[in-house]
Structure 1
Amino acid sequence: METLSSRTPVTNGITNHLPTPVQRPRRLRISPALRDLVRETRLTPAQLIAPIFVRHGRDLRVAIRSMPGQYQMSPDQAAREARELAERGIRAVLLFGIPAHKDACGSENADPDGIVPQAIRAIKDAVPGMVVISDMCFCEYTDHGHCGVLNSPDRSDFQPQLGEGYLLNDPTLALLAEASVVHARAGADIIAPSGMIDGMVATIRAALDSAGLSHTSIMSYAAKYASGFYGPFRDAAESPPQFGDRSQYQMDPANAREALREVDLDVAEGADILMVKPALAYLDIIRQVRDRHTLPLAAYQVSGEYSMVKAAALQGWLDEQRIALETLTAIRRAGADMIITYWAKEAAEWLG
């Protein structure tokens, strides 16, 4: 049977007069080596930051139901995890603590023997060169699940016009200052305030400097949106709000100019590294911040971004490795210098 490829082309003199392409971009896609040679955006393990959830105890690795492949770990297991990450080229971790006791002001966050200081010391003992970042917030530590001190009738500074349950900005700043010094003294290289509290960077910078910790950096969650993508994190950090949501302090997903204002304020207050969170749904914000500022820029590929792909991959609906690397590359392409991602360990292996 005659096939299409075996036929003599019937041109009728037409194709003889069609122009031959002068520009042929496909020339540079002809082989894997050539594609790698001209690749514009590079993704390496050294650009990835691995989040670690730590809890009290020993020899504990508690699976997080809504985040397959992720665990809550005791400090000794966090140190073991840090060693494995370092072996794969990961140079930084971000710590979230699950306390033994919660109260209205999240007091364990400022305890030198609290869970995060314990984990910092364990990781530094195991991997001295690992950059340890302490997420600085109170939602995991408070019994109400919000990120600081709440307006309450039983407080002497109760403000009726704000309503009961409103997060009080300046009293929360005092707690952030105290806890930041504790975590830095335990060995944290970077403090990462994440509550979107007005003045948080300036307050923490002043507290660190006054304590003789001027070498400790601040990575500010400069543009953190009130996002639905955080759902699985609430499970991982055991920090769901007991009422309402966090829209009174985290940003409206509809706003871009406001993000730039928030970022500008944090730059002026002394932030060393900026962050946009979440990442994939806010690539436009990452690009705008990158174009506006020269400080190092981080992006947080959050729990929902991870868990959606994991769930689909478990159903056999998509290729997890391909999607994970594609999304990480997109975040880098948008302008992020570093990415906080739950795929850090796996991605490092995939990248070889």
Structure 2
Amino acid sequence: MFRSPCKIPAMKTFEQKSYVGLKPPSYNVKINHFRSTKVACQLQRFDSTMTWPVNTHEALLVPSKLAAPPVPSKPVEPLTDHHLQLSRRPRRNRKSPTQRAAFQETNISPENFIYPLFIHQGEVDIPISTMPGRYILGWRHGLIEESPTGEEAFNDNGLVQRTVRLLKDKFPDLVIHTDVNFDEYSTSGHGGIVREDGVILNDETIYQLRKQAVSQARAGADVVCTSEMLDGRVGAVRAALDAGGFHHVSIMSYSVNYQINPANLREALIEAREDEAEGADILMVKPALPSLDIIRLLKDQTLLPIGGCQVSGEYSMIKAAGLLKMIDEEKVMMESLMCIRRAGADLILTYFALQASTILCGENRKFVF
């Protein structure tokens, strides 16, 4: 650093750095004895060890383009000779990408994903405005035929049933989950039959759901998903499936869903225990990311597989932030899925299933964080 006792600012060509142990550099100084204004100044170069004075002259400083003195190459001296006496240094196990990959405790693969599909009776795909990249699929993808669809949930020729049969014919090894819910078939849009005074009829709705589950199993569904959160639904559906000869069809129960108070942890545990006692094969938690603590709780409390449903809102938030370049969409997507897995989910229902599977099945089959 340069200082000027006569308050003349340091010249821009002087490197304002400190070089310890170097000889003072020479500067291009021209003496002008004919100037009427005498400037007396003393420039001093300071560093942490010594000060070198520059002779005082009646001088006009003429800047010249001087290269900065070379920085000597010498080993970096430690800031201290004292080292902490640590029995463990966890950073040693993550000092290289290879070690990070070797010690990664939680892994994720396409086998962990359930890919939700929306279908409709029309001929074209309908984009979902709030979910970039997602569509309600029409018949031209080969999922449904162009013919009238039944409105009853248990119509064997209904839209869902015909779609299941088509998929099973083309992909026999595909594991198909179907939604057992009344909301798509009722004028009210609720998951149950609604009385005129607004009361949802629990038992009457379950009577219909039993027939819906059997119809889906008859079409070829491997897993029926009871998602409407009505009391006693799992036991009733299990009894109906067994009576129809579908002992091999599994039930994935949406045990923890929007209907319960999100502030209640014990209520979630009560619902899950009831579903397990009634014969559920898989317990699903929805939404997944806000409920990671519940996923972990259920994982510790039961031996059943646990599912996490990454809902459309979670998908849309990541997509929107990615489109606005506020985040790295791919990294945030993969980390969100890994967090659900780490919490204890064996299955993840996610709209990212296809995109994430493409990444996982690429050159780097194991995604390392």
TM-score by length of 1: 0.78
Question: Quick check: 1:287–1:334 contact (8 Å CA) kept in 2?
Answer: yes
State the distance in 2 between where 1:119 and 1:198 align.
29
* Superposed displacement of residue 108, structure 1: 2.2
1:4 to 1:219, Cα distance in 2 relative to 1, 3 A: farther
Q: How far apart are 1:78 and its partner, in Å?
A: 6.2
Q: In 2, Cα distance between the equivalents of 1:304 and 1:78?
A: 28
Displacement after TM superposition at 1:24 (Å)? 2.0
Deviations 1:155-214 (A, max 9, x none): xxxxxxxxx111110000001001111111001011001000000100101111111111
State the alpha-carbon separation in 2 of the partners of residues 276 and 302 from structure 1.
10
What's the CA shift for 1:31? Answer: 2.1
Unaligned runs of 5+ in 1: 81-98, 102-106, 153-163, 226-249
Give, in whole Å, the separation in 2 of the partners of 1:269 and 1:8: 68
Q: Indicate the structure whose relative CO is greater, using CA pairs within 8 Å and at least 6 residues apart.
A: 1
Q: How far 1:18 moved relative to its partner?
A: 3.3
Does residue 295 of structure 1 match 2:295? no
Deviation readout 1:282-335 (Å, 9 max, x if unpaired): 000000000000101111000000001111111111111100110100000000
The residue number in structure 1 matching 2:210 is 177
Deviations 1:218-269 (A, max 9, x none): 00001112xxxxxxxxxxxxxxxxxxxxxxxx11111110110000000000
Residue 310 of structure 1, aligned match among 308, 319, 325: 319
Deviation at 1:279, TM superposition (A): 0.2
Correspondence for 2:174:
130
Mean Cα deviation higher: 316-325 or 29-38? 29-38
What is the aligned partner in structure 2 of residue 37 from structure 1?
102
C-alpha distance in 1, partners of 2:325/2:309? 26
CA contact (8 A) 2:149 2:157 kept: no
Q: Does 1:351 align with 2:351?
A: no
**Could you tell me the percent identity over the aligned residues?**
45
Relative distance call for 1:167 and 1:27 in structure 2 (3 A) is same
* Superimposed CA distance per residue, residues 100-146 of structure 1 (whole angstroms, 9 cap, x where no aligned partner): 67xxxxx5211111110011011111111000000111112211110
The Cα offsets for residues 30-57 of structure 1, whole Å up to 9 and x where unpaired, read as 2222211110000111111100011114
Given candidates 84, 87, 95, the residue that maps to 1:19 is 84
Instruction: Determine if contact 1:300/1:340 at 8 Å carries over to the other structure.
Output: yes
Equivalent residue of 2:117, what SS?
strand
Equivalent residues in 2 for 1:177-326, closer than 5 Å: 177-225=210-258, 250-326=259-335
Q: Secondary structure at the residue paired with 2:254?
A: strand
Task: Say which structure is richer in helix.
Answer: 1
RMSD in angstroms over aligned alpha carbons?
A: 2.1
Three-state SS of the structure 2 residue aligned to 1:259 is helix
Which residue of the partner structure matches residue 90 of structure 1?
Answer: none
1:63-78 alignment to 2 at 5 Å? 63-74=127-138, 77=141
Separation in structure 1 between the aligned mates of residue 156 and residue 72 of structure 2, nearest angstrom: 76
Distance verdict in 2 for CA 1:66–1:78, change over 3 Å: farther
1:108-119 equivalence runs, <5 A:
108-119=152-163
2:194 aligned to which of 135, 139, 150: 150
1:62 aligns with 2:106: no
User: What is aligned with 1:50?
Assistant: 115
Aligned residues: 290
1:220 is paired with a residue whose SS is: strand
What is the identity, as a one-letter code, of the residue corresponding to 1:324?
Answer: M
3-state SS of paired residue (1:201): helix
Secondary structure, counterpart of 2:153 in structure 1 = helix
Report the counterpart of residue 88 of structure 1 in structure 2.
none
Structure 1 match to 2:198: 165
Question: C-alpha separation between the residues in 1 aligned to 2:177 and 2:73?
Answer: 61
For 2:78 and 2:219, the matched residues in 1 are separated by 79
Counterpart of 2:183 in 1: which secondary structure? coil
Give 1:20 deviation, angstroms: 4.9
Which letter does structure 2 place at the counterpart of 1:28?
Answer: N
Matching residue's letter, 1:25 = P
SS of the residue 2:81 aligns to: helix
- Structure 2 residue runs of 5 or longer lacking an equivalent are 1-16, 20-70, 362-369
